[in-house]
Structure 1
């Protein structure tokens, strides 16, 4: 039996005030890759980013307006944090480098995903941002 082409995932911040869901090809078993960005901001957090079209990502609890927004450098990445527990679970990529609006979900905030089983590739953010 073959693996499903797409799967629904759920997750959220530590205090569970904000929850999300998204649909993506399976990635948690190492079949797909996540990015480990080398920019200082991402490296300090240890985030592992999974990119997807924004239309596949939905907040199911809480709203974007309730989140804390952090921007730096050219403000092309909109980093959103829970104002209660401080966890960043996604950001919006506004560079316009993709065919459609994109978000990146921190794979560490997806329920049931073991970061040790992920296939990680390095994204050289330290030298492009």
Structure 2
């Protein structure tokens, strides 16, 4: 799984992560299913947060986040019978991050401010 990068634009040290599952197999994914998202600020230690497939935003506070800091995101995909995942993609305010695929039958995670 390749990480996708986002560069902070202002000094707000918080994000909201929202998990969205789309595609033909999305009905097979329970809204309470957990997904682990790993994030890393600049070259710091990787951190993890768990989001669920219910589409509800999960607050994520990143201490010390400053304009210009790069945050890399990656996601671990759980096993679900009958579901073949494609590479997840991340977006910020509706814009796909560089390196993101265009999912058709895949889960999509979005980060928004």
Q: TM-score, normalised by structure 1?
A: 0.26
TM-score, structure 2 normalization: 0.28
